Amino acid sequence: MNSNLIFVLNLLATWYMVGLIWMVQIVHYNLFDRVGQDKFVQYEADHGRLITPIVGVPMLFEIVTAGLLVMSTPAGFPKWAAWLGIALVIAIWLSTALLQVPCHNRLMEGFDEVIYRKLVNTNWIRTVFWSARGLLTGYFLLKLMK
């Protein structure tokens, strides 16, 4: 496969996730505490069902293309950047699996202020790492365009 195409596909998946994670961090998660106790369990269930395809497919696409970039980097794209990119994706996946998913699972039992705050606060890890990936891919896009 063409390494330039892999890079562009990875950049698109990454920037999709950058926009999505900022919307989730600043808007969506910050509205969780306004749903109300009586509707929260259903709200959390609906959140999980509706957001999974919106997040899951691009995350899979991103990790696959990040892995492919490690194996086949475009000319002018340093190998260290590919490795840093995949390391950030792995860190995002680990944060998701070890921090955010357990919070959502606990919130499925009912709203809990402590767990809710943990979700919002730990989600900054993913927000920062996806933003770093976005900046990394954007920087190398500019370099590759020259």
pLDDT in tens, 2-36: 999 999 999 999 999 999 999 999 999 999 999 99
Q: Is the dihedral of CA 46, 20, 103, 37 positive or negative?
A: negative
Q: Hey, what are 48's tokens?
A: 């999980």
> Given this model, what pLDDT does residue 144 score?
83
What is the per-residue pLDDT for 63? 98
pTM score, whole prediction: 0.94
Distinct helix (H) and strand (E) counts, the chain: 5, 0
pLDDT for residue 1 is more than 90: no
Q: Which residue has the tokens 């696959």?
A: 64
Q: Average pLDDT of 91-117?
A: 97
Q: Please report, for residues 19, 23, 43, 110, 124, the alpha-carbon distance to residue 26 in angstroms, rounded to integers and kept in the order given.
A: 11, 5, 18, 22, 10
**What's the average model confidence in pLDDT over 80-93?**
97
Q: Taking residues 78-106, what's their average pLDDT?
A: 97
Judge whether residue 146 has pLDDT over 90: no
Alpha carbons 7 and 142: distance in angstroms, whole number: 12
How many domains, in total, are found in the chain? Answer: 1
122: which DSSP letter? H
For residue 70, the domain's CATH number is 1.20.120
Give the domain range for residue 56.
3-145
Least confident of 21-25, 92-96, 138-142: 138-142
